[in-house]
Chains A and B, each alone.
Chain A
Amino acid sequence: MKFTLNWLREHLDTSASLDDILSALTDVGLEVEGVESPAEKLTGFRVAKILTAAPHPQADKLQVLTVDQGDGTPPLQVVCGAPNARAGLIGVFGVEGAVVPSNGMVLRKAAIRGVESNGMMCSTRELELGEDHDGIIELPADAPVGTAFADYAGLDDPIIDVSVTPNKQDCMGVRGIARDLAAKGLGTLKPLAIPAIAENGAGPDVRTDDADGCPAFFARSVEGVANGASPEWMQVRLKAIGQKPISALVDITNYITFDLGRPLHVYDRATLNGPLVARRAVPGEQVLALNGKTYTLPEGATVIADADGAHDIGGIMGGERSGAQAGTTSVLIECAYFTPESIARAGQALGLTSDARQRFERGVDPAFLADGLDIATDYVLRLCGGTASAMTRAGEPPVAAKSIAYDPALSARLGGIDLAPADQQGILERLGFIVGADWTVTVPSWRRDVDGPADLVEEVIRIHGIDNVASVPLPRVPGVARPTATPEQLVERRVRRAAAARGFNEAVNWSFLSEKEAAAVGGGDWTLANPISEDLKVMRPSLLPGLLSAAARNAARGATAIRLFEVGRRYFRNEDGTSRERLTLGFVLAGDKSPRNWQQGKAAPFSAFDAKAEVLALLAAAGAPVQNLQMMGDAGASYHPGQSGTLRLGPKTVLAAYGVLHPTLARTFDLSGPVVAGELYLDAVPLKRKSGFMRPAYAPPALQAVTRDFAFLVPETVEADALVRAIRGADKGSIVTARLFDMFAGQGVPEGQKSLAVEVTLQPGEKSFAEEELKAISDKVVTAAEKLGGVLRG
């Protein structure tokens, strides 16, 4: 919301400086977004008089002028191309060194076609005061030569832009802002004069058939108006806040909208047919609005219509057909109350914002219909002439006053400021509240946002100064702070730092994917209705697409070794339509595992076993029982079907999937070379519940462990893990570990078979193993292997 300092002073009697006003605005909750001083832009431009004008010797269209700039210095020679430049004209002269606002050019002494020129006579466009560029500005003959032009033109009026929060509907007009500043102690609010209108004849025929959307519709007609330009002062103010002056009738309604926060509409009565009625739009009804666009009205929207149909989207925008024109002589002034909720609904459905909507949606003062209409009528009579009718009052605005039982102690209890009741009363009364002897506080009609005691605390402390609140420490439980992290949070922290410690760089990728990316990993459960772009549309069912995109971007930037991970959620839908968000760690390894180097020579790529190593290490960090996990297949379509796997706790609980990325998926993301990846489903990892700190007792075995190596020929189809598990289980009392250390196929190994070598560690108990005991264990190992088709190699 913009206004100028002089405009504010129309309502606020104050001697405060601009700086004081600005800081007070922010203090009371009207954050200053900017201050613009048009006078600054016009430094170096002054009122000057052309003394002589003669043709330029070298150019037909140019003239050589002598200009008196009114400061007693000799007249300056100026070359000018404006057709209206002539001796005796008083205009605006830019002195040497001045900066032309429209193009930033610094004026310098120069020779134009061989004739010296000092400074420039300016057009309105050059000074950004209008579009006119047909000639230089012509000021009245009595304009004081030598005066700074900004002063002369009344442009030395700073423009203040404040951000008005949605609750402060009263500050959508300059008067409301003045009231807040007066309450803050920056001056006094001037009384608002309500003019007495001489009424002739009956009021216009208006009514409301939509008591919900438009409970009150007040109107008055004025006959015999002349709709010329609005007066200069009004145009200057409207222009200052970015409004384009149109005609007196339109400008009056705009001015009152910004001055008093009271939107109005003026109809040309010649275009109306029969009574003007506020009613609900009929299905499919259309309105051609003032902005030239046709809107199909949503259900429940209020329109202002006559016998020919809807003219106006009630409270949002006037209609093209019935607005005041240059030739308008008979007008109807509408001053209505529209219900905020219905304006909000209609405005949202139409996607249409306007100054009127912004005010009605927040709630205009329901007790200010008749006065607002009188003020508007008075402007029309004064600026356009004519005769006013009586006022028609259709319907009743919701003026019932709200009362709140307030306890002044609440300012300390809730607001932390212990302010004397009398001071609180003063603040509330300056804001227009009526404070009863029993502290029943009546809310002024223009404050629709104040509902309860907490709102009154806000009023008191924001005017008193919220920065006067003193800091008070939160009560603290004695002793050292207790741990707060949940087991889930600890798992997340541990895996994140474990991954970084293992050389991964953590990325944070978008939670949404394109439909194509989501489809590549099986599709997502949630697709946005209003995505910001097609690339960010489907909530990710997998962390892989985001990581692969990031990997591809890095590869395109020349990265040769890519180790990325992310800890984040995957999004699924529960049966009841709510969201199921699964915390997941995803990683991708692409490019060189190790670069070419002097020790090993060529660069080495990543393999599926690198993914497996990471998955196991990270699951261990997460506290998963890594020794008890089952290695299974079915890692899904994202992976190479023969070089991938899952790790499960029992057959159903999948803790991780990993492997070489499926080449098709890699190609989708423009990744070449082997890419390996994995996902850990952290929400499936069983949580460790703390049951004290004590560890089980432990004594190292007295005797040293012994190792024995076994090599078996097994059918190609036997999985190494099956053999190792079988061996480990052959004699649980003695065998503590079994570790595969060699695998061989080809020469010396029969077709369809492979050789697997396993190192078995045996731990003796009380006494060392006797030869026959070792033999017995060996036999058990061999028997276990034989069950899988294994034959001990000689």
Chain B
Amino acid sequence: MSEVEALKSGLVADIESADSLDAVEALRVGALGKQGVVTALLKTLGGMSPDERLEKGPPIQSLREAVTDAIATRKAALETAALDARLASERVDMTLPAAEAPQGSIHPVSQVMDELAEIFADLGFTVATGPEIEDDWHNFTALNIPETHPARAMHDTFYFPDKDAEGRSMLLRTHTSPVQIREMLKHKPPIRLVAPGRVYRSDSDATHTPMFHQIEGLVIDRDIHLGHLKWTLETFLKAFFERDDVTIRLRPSFFPFTEPSMEFDASYSLVNGQRVMGGTDGWMELGGSGMVHPNVIRNCGLDPAEWQGFAFGIGVDRLAMLKYGMNDLRAFFDGDLRWLKHYGFSALDVPTLSGGVGA
């Protein structure tokens, strides 16, 4: 073995056995530093004749490369080991709990109102609103309920002692129907609207609360008839419950502001003893409807010979209960966080036609 070969194997062995980055650095300086042994050998190349350099050069270059590589390799190995050791020391118990973000929720009534707005928008209905503190003309008289009509007694009305400037008695609206009047007075037909909101009746028991939510539907045009009403109810309920087997039954009834008047039932099926909308096991009463009474159309300054249409009303809380399975209306208005978190909806559950109107 030549002298250069011996030096190479000695230096490489020293580097490979170095146990710290400092030791590697010392070896590098000893070999490749200004005063290093390899550097010294490289310097000798300059004084050689070409033939001599041709013979002795390659072993010296090879020595330099081997030493350089060995240093790099050893350095990398030592650095990796050091990083591994540091990471090992940084280990934490990842089963520890992370901070919890508070979980907010949308009330089922709001969610259902958004769902209804979405469905009816597709059918061309706008969303209208009106005051909850109404006068008796809008709530009763204009809706063809004169003061002495027995139907007024059907509404357990909350009254205020106050009267407005026109001497009308002020009250809490007993239904969303006064919005019909306000909208017909404001806009010329054709009209297609829904009017959701709070309504009030002086009634409180297991299934009635003094405040609840209704949605009113109104369509006024030239040729709208009962068949359109039935289709609209069917179509909206199918979309709302996302079931094609929801069917509608109309039953003659009486509301002073519609003629003919009918209540509507929807079909349900029994699943594990619970009523689920759609199917053929029975009928459930859902709301009231009818063709807008000619007197109501007249009271809004329109000619009933020219304009006709339908109206319907349905309980929003009840729709929510039927769709999402709550069974106690009173809980809707209690603000119990446990209930709100259980029955409420995520902020991101925005009803859309493409994503569905149920969550």
Interface residues in chain A, defined as those with a beta carbon under 8 Å from any beta carbon in chain B: 26-29, 31, 165-168, 340-342, 344-345, 348, 358, 361-362, 412-417, 452, 454-455, 457-458, 461-462, 466-467, 469-474, 476-477, 481-486, 489, 493, 496-512, 526-533, 536, 539, 546-547, 549-551, 553-554, 557, 559, 561-564, 567-569, 571, 573, 576-579, 581, 594, 597-599
Contact = CB atoms under 8 A, between A and B. Distances in A.
Interface stretch (B15-23, B25-33, B75-83, B343-351): B343-351
B211 A510 contact: yes
Given A507-B107, A531-B158, A472 B344 contact: no
Contact of A526 (B162, B203, B337): B162
Contacts of B109: 508
Contacts of A413: 223, 225, 308
B106 interface: yes
Nearest to B293: A454
Contact of A501 (B104, B123, B192, B228): B104
B81 to A, nearest CB: 32
Contact of B341 (A498, A505, A533, A598): A505
B121 to A, nearest CB: 4
B202 A530 contact: yes
Contact of B132 (A414, A501, A508, A579): A579
A592 to B, nearest CB: 10
23 contacts: A27-B252, A167-B256, A413-B308, A414-B260, A458-B260, A461-B226, A474-B192, A484-B121, A486-B126, A503-B102, A506-B106, A507-B335, A526-B133, A527-B161, A529-B159, A529-B160, A539-B133, A550-B335, A557-B338, A569-B198, A578-B164, A579-B132, A597-B97
B110 to A, nearest CB: 6
A509 B335 contact: yes
A165 B159 CA distance: 24
Nearest to A348: B153
B254 A454 contact: no
A557 B331 CA distance: 14
Contact of A577 (B164, B336, B350): B164
A361 B150 contact: yes
Contacts of A466: 226, 250-252, 260, 262
B333 A509 contact: yes
B163 interface: yes
B99 interface: yes
Contacts of B55: none
Identify the interface centre among A168, A454, A498, A557: most chain B CB within 10 Å of its CB: A454
B151 A503 contact: no
B230 A469 contact: yes
Given A414-B291, A526-B133, A554-B337, 12 more contacts: A341-B148, A412-B225, A454-B293, A466-B250, A469-B230, A474-B224, A489-B127, A500-B104, A526-B160, A528-B172, A530-B202, A581-B131
Nearest to A463: B252
Nearest to A597: B99
Identify the interface centre among A413, A526, A579: most chain B CB within 10 Å of its CB: A579
A581 B133 contact: yes
B161 A536 contact: no
A467 B97 contact: no
Contacts of A569: 132, 198
B249 interface: yes
B300 interface: no
Given A506-B110, A506-B344, A458 B259 contact: yes
Query: Top 4 A-B pairs ranked by shortest CB distance?
Result: A550-B335, A503-B102, A29-B252, A165-B254
Contacts of B344: 500, 505-506
B204 interface: yes
Interface in B122-175: 122-127, 131-135, 146-151, 153-154, 158-165, 170, 172
B7 interface: no
Given A484-B127, A498-B347, A532-B204, A165 B253 contact: yes
B14 interface: no
Contacts of B148: 340-342, 344-345, 348, 361
A594 B98 CA distance: 12
Given A481-B124, A489-B127, A503-B101, A362 B250 contact: no
B114 A577 contact: no
Contacts of B230: 416, 469-472
Contact of A474 (B147, B150, B219, B341): B219
Identify the interface centre among A551, A573, A577: most chain B CB within 10 Å of its CB: A577
A553 B210 contact: no
A496 B225 contact: no
A328 B286 CA distance: 53
Contacts of B124: 474, 476-477, 481-482, 484
B269 interface: no
Given A471-B234, A474-B219, A511-B198, A561 B165 contact: no
Interface residues of B, number: 97
Nearest to A599: B99
Given A345-B148, A474-B228, A484 B164 contact: no
Contacts of A493: 114
A768 to B, nearest CB: 39
A71 B337 CA distance: 66
B312 interface: no
B334 A458 contact: no
B345 to A, nearest CB: 8
B127 A415 contact: no
B150 A166 contact: yes
B254 A167 contact: yes
Contact of A502 (B104, B107, B126): B104
Contacts of A458: 252, 259-261
Contacts of A358: 150
Contacts of B192: 474
A528 to B, nearest CB: 5
Contacts of A345: 147-148
Contacts of B250: 466-467, 469
A553 B165 contact: no
A474 B232 contact: yes
B272 interface: no
B270 to A, nearest CB: 20
A485 B350 CA distance: 14
A268 B249 CA distance: 52
Identify the interface centre among B117, B122, B159, B162: most chain A CB within 10 Å of its CB: B162
A500 B344 CA distance: 10
A416 B127 contact: no
A390 to B, nearest CB: 35
A501 B250 CA distance: 41
A83 B111 CA distance: 69
B246 to A, nearest CB: 12
A505 B105 contact: yes
A584 B193 CA distance: 24
Interface in B278-298: 291, 293-294
Given A455-B259, A484-B126, A579 B253 contact: no
Contacts of A469: 226-227, 230, 250
Contacts of A549: 335
Contacts of B235: 473
Contacts of A26: 251
Contacts of A510: 210-211, 333
A497 B226 contact: no
Given A165-B254, A469-B230, A452 B127 contact: no
B340 interface: yes
A343 to B, nearest CB: 8
A379 to B, nearest CB: 29
B96 interface: yes
Nearest to B204: A532
A508 B165 contact: no
A489 B127 CA distance: 9
Contacts of A476: 123-124
A484 B125 CA distance: 7
Given A452-B294, A454-B291, A474 B226 contact: no
Contacts of B151: 166
